[in-house]
A and B are shown apart, each in its own frame.
Chain A
Amino acid sequence: MLKLGAMRAIIGLSRGLALGLLMLACLSGSAQDAFVGSVKISTGQPQVIRGSEAIPATPGMRLQLKDSLRTGPESRIGVILRDGTRISLGPDSELALETFLFEPGKGEFGLLLKLFRGVAAFISGKIVELSPDSATVDTPVGIIGLRGTKFAVALGAR
């Protein structure tokens, strides 16, 4: 009980800290770094997993680095990243936005998506166009290196 209480206090504290940091980030104008894309298509009840939270994914919702997209048996989701990369998931799928680096001014590019399960389609954007060797989709059976543009992955029997 004590342990649980202590953990809750720590979680509460870290949430407060996170909020404080976020506000600080907003003030310093670097919050955009964490903003990597937005939800465009949402059918059924797909979710965005952010830390330990499962948030209903609604159209227009902004996505952050390390967010995971998750669909259930009846849901689908379509998103667009800030370089124009588009990703869509069919039912019972999960994908994490691991790395997103799009700084054309500095010549810095990187994209790593992790597909854990399910079925997904991808259309690459500016990152692949400007830096063809810096985009990867990781799956449980191998990695996919992208030179563009449109492709799809299905894990498990279908």
Chain B
Amino acid sequence: MTRLATIVILLSLVLGGCGAKQAPAPTIAPPPANAIALLPEDDGSVGRIAVSNQAGAVTLEAPNTITLVAAIDVAPAAPAQVDPAEITRRFGTALDAMPAAQAEFVLYFDLGDDRLTAQSQALVSSIMEAVAQRQSTDVSISGHTDTTGTMSSNYQLALRRAERVAEILVAQGLAATSLSVESHGEGNPLVRTADGVEEPRNRRVEVTVR
């Protein structure tokens, strides 16, 4: 009698188990998808991004914070701090392919002239190094003057300065096709002054190597 009862109980347990197996398996939550992270720059500085969609918006302001967004009609999740390993796991393949930052140089000129100061002459080799390191095909040269002289003569002077720098760089082996040259005349001073003011810091050519 007790043996029969045991068998019945066991049988019902097994059958019950089978029954449970046939029921739909509990859905396994998919791994968190669609992640957006704010990261610190190499110098440690951090910016800010706003993530928004049909259902809501969040702002990321702290380094290594992440928001998960399930879909366009689901609000972005509250920002959460993650460790660097998590950042690498999610975004490492893209982060590894990040190019070097552009390099910026400022060259100075003698008053009213298109001759580089001796100090700036020495920067030319640094520019060529930056070009070589980046295998750059995009070098911008912009010429600037101070506010002595007329606006139109300053436009011409700034252009001459920029072209002079372009000549120097081409002579050093930079492909002319990689260069773009422009004049800002007296319109984009480094230091704001009244009209007709001699200001050595504004007599310059900016070179950007990308």
Contacts and interface: CB of A to CB of B under 8 A. Distances in A.
Partners in one complex: yes
B93 A90 contact: yes
B153 interface: no
A93 B94 CA distance: 9
Contacts of B180: 32
Nearest to B72: A141
B191 to A, nearest CB: 17
B52 interface: yes
Contacts of B95: 88, 121, 152
Given A121-B91, A143-B53, A145-B50, A152 B33 contact: no
Chain A CB within 10 A, most for which of B37, B91, B96, B137: B91
Interface string B44-77: 0111111111000000100000000111100010
A128 B50 CA distance: 13
Interface residues of B, number: 54
B54 to A, nearest CB: 8
A79 B181 CA distance: 22
A123 B101 contact: yes
Interface in B190-210: 208, 210
B19 interface: no
Contacts of A40: 99-100, 134-135
Given A88-B99, A149-B41, A157 B31 contact: yes
A151 B94 CA distance: 11
Given A40-B99, A150-B41, 11 more contacts: A38-B137, A62-B137, A80-B102, A82-B140, A121-B98, A147-B48, A148-B48, A149-B45, A150-B40, A154-B35, A158-B35
24 contacts: A38-B136, A40-B134, A80-B99, A82-B210, A84-B208, A84-B210, A88-B94, A88-B95, A90-B93, A90-B97, A91-B93, A119-B93, A121-B94, A123-B41, A141-B72, A145-B52, A150-B38, A150-B39, A152-B94, A153-B35, A153-B36, A154-B91, A156-B34, A158-B31
